[in-house]
Structure 1
Amino acid sequence: MPPKKRVLPFASSACPTPEFAILEADWKSLETALGKELSADVRGQLIGMTANFLHFAPFELAAEPLDDTDARLTKVRKAASAFQQALNDGRSSDARFFATHLIERHFDDARIGKRQTIHNLSGILTSFIVACTKAQAEIDGDGVAGHSPGEAWKTWIRNVVKLLQENGLPTQVRKDTDKNRSGPSPFVRFIDRLQTCFDRKYRRAIQSPEALAEAITRARRGAKPRKTRAIKTRNKKS
């Protein structure tokens, strides 16, 4: 299996929070799937945690690959290196000396000063190049905790499990659906039905009951139930 493409730990998303609704007929269908009635309190909490999941789900889809960041760092590092090499061209000549003299006479920036302008500017470029190199090393290593696609869904599953367990409702998952005459576990049927209440692109493992059972099992192996982690976001400039 090819390695998963790493993505940024934040995302910009112009799309609104996906809408979803659970009608009374949906509640009846969900209760039939689970084989249990759901209290008003459980219904309310299910709506809240599903809305929370759907608030963050678009950012998962919008997260850009880290490769784009690496490409940007490479581009500016190479440009800075080329500029520095041009400034420090070692060939001595009257033309080079006069060009440097004219540049330093007209260069006006208090951050660099009036004396040894080219030397100071070259030093700044060295610091910039080192910063780019370190940034690339951080990306190549474990310094950047890229976002994991599907993390919000897994957190949603764990929170649903916790809620149902606290209310004495079934959460068992049977993965041998194809060998069991009774079909998928009630909880798997419940999640399958609940996912139909929101947009298809935010659903997971919808190809078969076996795939959904496996996805739920993997989600439950993760961290203990907690609130959905906020994916860092930034607003794109208009």
Structure 2
Amino acid sequence: MKFETFDARMRLFETAHDHCVLPGLYIVVRLDGKNFTRLTKETWPFQVPFDPGFRDLMVDTVEHLMQCGVNVIYAYAQSDEISLLLRRDDDSFGRKTRKLISILAGEASAKFSLGLGGVAVFDARVSQLPSPDHVVDYFRWRHEDAHRNALNAHCYWGLRGGGESPSAAAQMLRGLSTAEKNELLFRQGINFNDLPSWQKRGMALFWHNGPTSNEDGPGATREPGPTEPVRAPRRRLERNLELPLGEAYGAYVRGFVV
């Protein structure tokens, strides 16, 4: 059997279930840390419930993902998860879901592990969204999840710090309303509204086209004239650790949906 025939026959077994996202659909890839809840509390030396060092590792990982060959226009990160919005017309890897999942999960795992100095693993999944409204709803969903998780985490670790066992702390929180959880924190001397925004609302990263002097790098040129350098647009990554809430966040996200 000729190799070409053999190759084509065997490749059917690994490509038979390939799925490609249809043109016109928005792609969001969400990555989650595998067992990060346990590892951050028991193995890795991070503060609970939130650690600035862990936050910085997550931001560095997101920045890497936005520069690894996939056209990501907006990213949102909270706790141990990352959501990446691709350009609607992005054709990376032929829009094959298995390629997007495996490559982005691999890139995230490698980057975070290098920064950590130990093994860390991310999984990934793809959402295929038909309209800008669905994209906004997706990110509002993750944004609301961040707020809920932050409140629960501060309550839980406040109780643990007060001497409660893991099971007792979980039981004490079961069935409490948001107002009751805020009151619980207040009795511990914590005003939830005063906590850093990135803990409660997550973080955003996006590309910004802003003017910069071309004398900043090699090959700078100037207009004829004595003093002023030519100003040219340069694409750079920006981060936002002070995201708005509710409808205002929805409007914020809509500005990136192209």
TM-score bracket, shorter-length normalisation: under 0.3
Taking structure 2 as the reference length, what is the TM-score of the superposition?
A: 0.25
Larger radius of gyration: 1
